[in-house]
Amino acid sequence: MPSTICHRTRHLAARGLMSIALGLSLAATATGTSQAATNNGPVDVLYAGSLTDIMMNQIGPAFDKATGYDFVGFAAGSSELASDIKGRLRPADVFVSASAKVDGTLMGKANGDWVNSYKDVGRTYLEIGYNPKSKFAAQLKGKPWYDVVGESGFRLGRTDPATDPKGVLAHEALAGAANKYHLPPLAIEASETSDIFPEESLVGRLQSGQLDGGFFYAVEAQAAHIPTVPLTGYPLYATYTVAVVNHAPHPSGAASFAAFLTGAAGKKILAQDGLTVS
């Protein structure tokens, strides 16, 4: 019984520290006071791979400059990251997901109580991004996407539905269009696995010419300067969320990052990249 009480006391104390830190971060943001002179140390942020460019080149550096902390990011599919958190495979202070459903897999006693709550960051639509040098580029600009991506020789890229919410949406679009427009090639594409790649590598594969097109969120395509066409007939979108992870190794830094991302400075960066901020 004493060990149980001690564990609960430590848990409550940690949660209290996170709440205090978040309050201090929000207060600093509201007053314009910089804590860069006193804050230091890493903040481990696990984030959806579709945000790689934004996090590494924009949000991370801006957060470091504004707060004095050291942003340490790791990107992968949201579901994969949630599994890493539950399995204690890598340190996590903050979880930025592309699906609230994935946040739910970390909530509650049965899921380890890794996350108590999350906050919406913004929404972005799924689109078809393409390589402008592809021989199919002109067709994509003049025809509906579903009439082009199923053509012989078209190299399409998407992410794994088992590890990434974007992969789930891509499969939904392919299977839905195959059924609605009676396009067997898309049905085959929806069940194919050779076109599945890690989310964090999909942009590079397209830009290097390995792919003719792929499923991308508008926000990641804009950040990487990838031309896109709308997913006509399928207005699918993702809503990014941010959550401070319980048992975080750096609770004060975690609260500071969550406050920055959802504050004026973070929203400005995200909006510039095409995210409809919450």
pLDDT tens by residue, 201-252: 999 999 999 999 999 999 999 999 999 999 999 999 999 999 999 999 999 9
188-207: per-residue pLDDT in tens?
A: 999 989 999 999 899 999 99
The CATH architecture one would assign to domain 2-122+240-277 is 3-Layer(aba) Sandwich (3.40)
Contact call for residues 207 and 226 (beta carbons, < 8 A): yes
- Mean pLDDT for 141-155 is 96
- Residue 220: predicted pLDDT: 92
Q: Report the Cα–Cα distance between both ends of the chain, in Å, rounded.
A: 45
> What is the C-alpha to C-alpha distance for residues 36 and 33, in angstroms, rounded to an integer?
9
37 pLDDT band (50/70/90 cuts)? Answer: low
> What is the C-alpha to C-alpha distance for residues 76 and 68, in angstroms, rounded to an integer?
26
**Mean pLDDT over the full length of the chain:** 89
Evaluate if residue 27 carries a pLDDT over 50: no
The pTM is what? 0.83
Helical spans, DSSP H, in the chain:
2-31, 52-54, 60-67, 78-86, 100-104, 137-142, 165-180, 184-191, 199-207, 218-223, 251-262, 264-272
> pLDDT higher for 75 or 39?
75
Contact call for residues 115 and 103 (beta carbons, < 8 A): yes
176-191: per-residue pLDDT in tens?
A: 999 999 999 999 999 9
Contact call for residues 159 and 153 (beta carbons, < 8 A): no
> What is the C-alpha to C-alpha distance for residues 242 and 159, in angstroms, rounded to an integer?
21
- Residue 35: predicted pLDDT: 53
Q: Are strands 213-217 and 156-157 parallel, antiparallel or unpaired?
A: parallel
92-108: per-residue pLDDT in tens?
A: 999 999 999 999 999 99
Q: Where are the domains of the chain?
A: 2-122+240-277, 124-238
- Residue 26: predicted pLDDT: 41
Q: For domain 124-238, give the CATH superfamily.
A: Periplasmic binding protein-like II (3.40.190.10)
Domains 2-122+240-277 and 124-238 share a fold: yes
8-22: per-residue pLDDT in tens?
A: 334 434 444 444 344
- Mean pLDDT for 120-138 is 97
Q: Which of 210, 104, 217, 225 is nearest to 159 (CA)?
A: 217
Contact call for residues 246 and 93 (beta carbons, < 8 A): no
> What is the C-alpha to C-alpha distance for residues 76 and 83, in angstroms, rounded to an integer?
11
